[in-house]
Amino acid sequence: MLKVINFSKSFSGELIISVPMLELQPGTYWIKGENGAGKTTFFKSLSGLIPCAGDVKFSDGISLTRSPIRYRERVNYGEAEPLYPGFLTAKDLIRFVGKARNTAPHQQDLLMKKFGIDEYFEKPCATYSSGMLKKLSLAIAFLGSPKLIILDEPLITLDENAQKNLVGLIDEYIDKHEAIVLLSSHQFLENTKIQINQSFTIKNKTLTAFNPT
Amino acid sequence: MKVLLPVFVREFYLTHTGFFLLVIAFAGGFMRSYDHIALGEFFISSPLVLVIPIVFWFLYNLKVINFNGEKIRQNENEFIFCFMLFPVSRQWWMAIRVVLIQLLPVFVYGLFLSLLAWKHEMMNSIIVILIALKILVIISAYHLLWSLHHPNYEKKVSFISRFLNLQFKKAFPLFFIEWMTRHEFAMLLGTKSFSALTILGITALYKTDIYDLRLLSIGIIIVSVGNTGLLHAMHHFENFHLSWLKGLPLPFLKRIFYSLLTIVIILLPEMVFLIQRFPAGQGLYNLAISAFFLFSIAFLIYGLLYAKDRNQQEIMTLVFYCGIGWFVLVLFDVPILLLGILNALVGLALWKKFYYSFEYVSRK
């Protein structure tokens, strides 16, 4: 289980998003919100890329603030619009992140094949289309045995086959690793095969459970 | 034009504030007005000698061309391609205006040399200056127009790159070095040339007279401070191009090892110059602590960059004041080993304390 406690994130004194309390069990959660609502800021904070107030911790006490390295071992993040230096290849990135996350090379190769990255594994990122970059970012987001996988707009620019593989991977990580998958999307996820456990929305800069009624 | 000026001109001067501050500090701090006039008169004395400033103008022009090319390639600037909808004559006029403002420092110095040449009735020099300036403007404006007319050029990977990518994977400490050589080559070349000249100049003094280690230590301070631009670029690279790096579960020791290794690689040319030109009478121990002092200043600057989000101008100002502090302490014979240890410890403490809480806002 993951607990988000008294979370808030401000820029230059202005509150962007707050989460008084949130408890998540393994499963898939959809964060909805308009553009600029603070979804990406929330995701980046959860993944430890930007500082925030409050705490985020797993049920065994591993927390973002108190055990930053062990927390990061369990959290993977796939960006909405991934940005990699153009001269680096998918191989450079997957091998480096894979090593940092202590993953076996065969898992790296498996993910690479699953997203069809093997075709351009040794080519520099500058030659990639936005879809290819997105696949690379998603493959990186599944490296290791993460307990929390955060996917920001995972479906944009993805072809149909990659979308299917992504859905399969989400299910697999929830079943095998008891992962919590947090995702944001402006697309209607109801039309996909992603099983959503619960949806949230950001209202008045606060994350609240989404109630369609 | 209102769109082109902020993208190309304002950004150009903001990005290169450190470079201009360094030039102003050098030209205004070390040289007096009659030194400038004497140097100018030397330059215009013959068209052959005039090649020296012209080479520097072409290097500056290279900086302008690189900058404009990079701006055009950035996705956020794709809107500029609407520029092609203007009539060709207007496109040329706008491109020329942009590069004229970017080349303003060159024109100011060209005017200064022309006035000196006019005073000494050296018409040949004036003609050479005018031709050089005209060529600079044509090259830059043509490059700008060409780049705007060829937005989606095919990205080709050379055979050597393909072979290397196939055989090897890049080591993390080389990520920044490769980025630097590809994107900020002019800054890299300028910084290393400045370092080489400073070390060569200072060590040459030891051959003419007897000096203690303090003179060389002052040279090391100047060289380290001169590397601030590179360290700022490294910090920008880590926090902008590798923004995902902070999310990796890398232990502190490994992270700091990667950063230290990158800084050592950045300072490798200075280390080589220092070893090659180290004054014979100073001994190996002094060589080792001099190298350590050089490295410790760079590491402190790196730590300071994580303590607070600072743009290049702000960090240059801070480092400038630190430089004055080190200068005074060295003059008062405070051992550079002690200063080096202090710099390294403060740098490490700042980096460790602020690494995760640091939030990158300033771009460059």
- Residues B147 and B9 occupy one common structural domain: yes
Of the two residues B151 and A132, the one the predictor is more confident about is: A132
Burial class (CB in 10 A: 0-12, 13-18, 19+), B240: middle
Residues in A closer than 8 angstroms to B157, CB to CB, are 123-124, 127
Record: contact A83-B250, CB cut-off 8 A: no
pLDDT for the residue A146? 94
Q: What is the mean pLDDT of residues A59-78?
A: 94
Last residue of a domain, one of B153, B186, B211: B153
ipTM of the complex: 0.91
Distance from CA of A97 to the nearest CA of B (A): 7
pLDDT for the residue A26? 95
- Residues B197 and B94 occupy one common structural domain: no
- Residues B110 and B204 occupy one common structural domain: no
- Residues B126 and B245 occupy one common structural domain: no
> Any idea which residue has 């590798």 for tokens?
B242
Residues with pLDDT less than 50, chain B: none
pLDDT for the residue A82? 92
Minimal CA–CA distance to B291: which of B274, B316, B310, B309? B274
User: CA-to-CA distance for B351 and B262, rounded, in angstroms?
Assistant: 15
pLDDT for the residue B164? 79
In chain A, pLDDT over 90 holds for what percent of residues? Answer: 77
- Residues B199 and B346 occupy one common structural domain: yes
CB contact set of A26 (below 8 Å; sequence gap of 6+): A174, A178, A179, A180
Record: contact A48-B247, CB cut-off 8 A: yes
pLDDT for the residue B46? 85
Burial class (CB in 10 A: 0-12, 13-18, 19+), A52: buried
Number of domains in chain B: 2
B167 domain residue, yes or no: no
B302, B238 contact by CB (below 8 A): no
Last residue of a domain, one of B121, B153, B185: B153
- Residues B105 and B207 occupy one common structural domain: no
pLDDT for the residue B82? 79
B168 domain residue, yes or no: no
Of the two residues A50 and B208, the one the predictor is more confident about is: A50
pLDDT for the residue B153? 58
Burial class (CB in 10 A: 0-12, 13-18, 19+), B131: exposed
Last residue of a domain, one of B99, B121, B153: B153
User: CA-to-CA distance for A157 and A131, rounded, in angstroms?
Assistant: 5
Residues in A closer than 8 angstroms to B246, CB to CB, are 48-49
CB contact set of A6 (below 8 Å; sequence gap of 6+): A20, A21, A53, A54, A55
- Residues B138 and B88 occupy one common structural domain: yes
pLDDT tens by residue, B163-174: 877 788 889 999
Record: contact A49-B244, CB cut-off 8 A: yes
pLDDT tens by residue, A170-213: 999 999 889 999 999 877 766 677 888 999 999 889 998 876 65
Q: Indicate the range of A25-29, A96-100, A208-212, B350-354 predicted with least confidence.
A: A208-212
- Residues B32 and B147 occupy one common structural domain: yes
- Residues B149 and B282 occupy one common structural domain: no
- Please name the residue of chain A whose CA is at the shortest distance from the CA of residue B178: A87
B225 domain residue, yes or no: yes
- Please name the residue of chain B whose CA is at the shortest distance from the CA of residue A70: B249
Residues in B closer than 8 angstroms to A95, CB to CB, are 169
Record: contact A69-B157, CB cut-off 8 A: no
- Residues B216 and B125 occupy one common structural domain: no
User: CA-to-CA distance for B55 and B41, rounded, in angstroms?
Assistant: 17
B83 domain residue, yes or no: yes
- Residues B83 and B221 occupy one common structural domain: no
pLDDT tens by residue, B255-274: 999 999 999 999 999 999 99
Domain limits at B128?
A: 4-153
- Residues B114 and B238 occupy one common structural domain: no
